[in-house]
Amino acid sequence: MPARRLQAALRPDQPPPPLATLAQALRDEGMTQAALYRLFQTEHARSDLDELRLEALAEAMDLIWGGGWAKGHALFGQELSQERLDSE
């Protein structure tokens, strides 16, 4: 289950995770861009995460969103928009 995999990667007893790798794996397994972004966004909203984990989530979210945020390393061919995020 994607949420459990992300939560396991964010455990405080683990070093800050390479979340872009997890995001890419979930994409390759068929997760849509909007669903993947929402998953990472939900975890980013948690209040119990330290700054390193929040930063790792934010960096992965930039790659998922795409466009200028991804600085040429977007995980999807099309930039996500708020409209698409809200409708999918």
pLDDT of residue 12: 85
Residue 5 pLDDT greater than 90, yes or no: yes
Instruction: Look at residue 29 and tell me if it is in a domain.
Output: yes
Record the pTM. Answer: 0.90
With respect to residue 88, please indicate whether it lies within any of the assigned structural domains: no
pLDDT of residue 72 exceeding 90: no
- CA torsion sign for 21, 27, 63, 37 is negative
Q: Which domain holds residue 51?
A: 2-82
Q: State the pLDDT at residue 67.
A: 86
Domain count, the chain: 1
Summarised one tens digit per residue, pLDDT across range 19-57 is 999 999 999 999 999 999 999 999 999 888 888 899 999
Q: Is residue 19 part of a domain?
A: yes
Mark 40-76 as b/e (b = at least 16 C-beta within 10 Å).
beebbeeeebeeebbebbebbbbbbbbeebbeeebbb
> Does 87 reside within a domain?
no
**83 Cβ contact list (under 8 Å, min separation 6):** none
